[in-house]
Structure 1
Amino acid sequence: MADSTRVQLRKLLASRYAYLVRRLERVTGSKDGAADALHETWLRLENANVTTQVANADAYILGMANNVAIDQHRRERRHLHDDDVETLMEVPDELADPARIVEARRKVEALKDVLRGLTPRRRAILIAARVDGLLNREIAEQFGISLRLVESELSAALKYCLQRVQEAGDAYPGSRSGPRKF
């Protein structure tokens, strides 16, 4: 990549940092993950080897940062093995008391009721995305539908669930995303 193009891309990344973080936040599921991906992108831009002029610098940077985020996600997934999971499951929960357990079970049952209100395909897509952690692209391939339809179904399912949970009076102030980062 020509030095002038590299400098221009780095300047653009710096000047549009907040915008790029917001865009990547949708992909990574967290602001910190998006910031980490952009920082790594900044470093990778120094060694990027593209000899042509970049037509759409925002798209180039976002694509590069998206690839970085996917790489980071895959690295993180590799570090947690079945033995680690079993060890973590054996750690006693010092905060577990009967009232919290009953409340948690009630919330799980309420969520199951909400999920039963979804169409079978929507429910399967939501579970594949938020429980199994599959990428939208993987879900589209699995169901034999377009990526856009997966995004639409997932959005509708999340809106439906949020509305039903709020109607029931259960507000979940924390994250609404599952273990999935993409």
Structure 2
Amino acid sequence: MPSWNTQIARLFTEQKKALEAFVTRRTGSAQVAADLTQESFLRLARLDSGEKIDNLPAFLFTIASNLVRDHQRQAIRRERMEAGEPSDELPCSTPSAVDQLAAYQDETLMHDAIGALPEATRQIFLLYHVDECSYREIAERLTISPRSVEYQLRRALIDCRAYIQARLANDAKGSRP
């Protein structure tokens, strides 16, 4: 079995460009992507070499995704600090209670529909729609073909639509006098 440093070096050679592209898409900045990619590899290299990680590339992408999330949170905090105190003269942009309830119900329904998907399909759906991975990136991470990714995404949309329609139909039947 190769040493930890050898594994990290090989991973760097194989995944650096893909990881930078992934982070660039999420941040919109090549410079930030370069920094976060480097930090991802550093954090992985600092792990105890005795820890067993089944899928190093997937773990590396998870580290990068978390770093992107942290970076975006810090950017939001900086923007809020720079904006200063809110003005009393600005109109309230908070949605009404009815709008908030409707949004919550829509979000809950979509969450339930995604939760009803088979595990593999749900994982592909979330990688594509939440983590914004390309078909090719998903295929590489899950060792499947891009065509399979495309099929699973199409299947997920069909299944989610059917789940939502069935729930709405059931809710409509239950609310009739």
**Which bin holds the TM-score, normalised by the shorter protein?**
0.3 to 0.5
Relative CO higher for 1 or 2, CA cutoff 8 Å, sep ≥ 6? 1
**TM-score of the two chains, using structure 1 as the length reference:** 0.45
The structure that has the greater radius of gyration is 2
Please, what TM-score do these two structures have when normalized by structure 2? 0.46
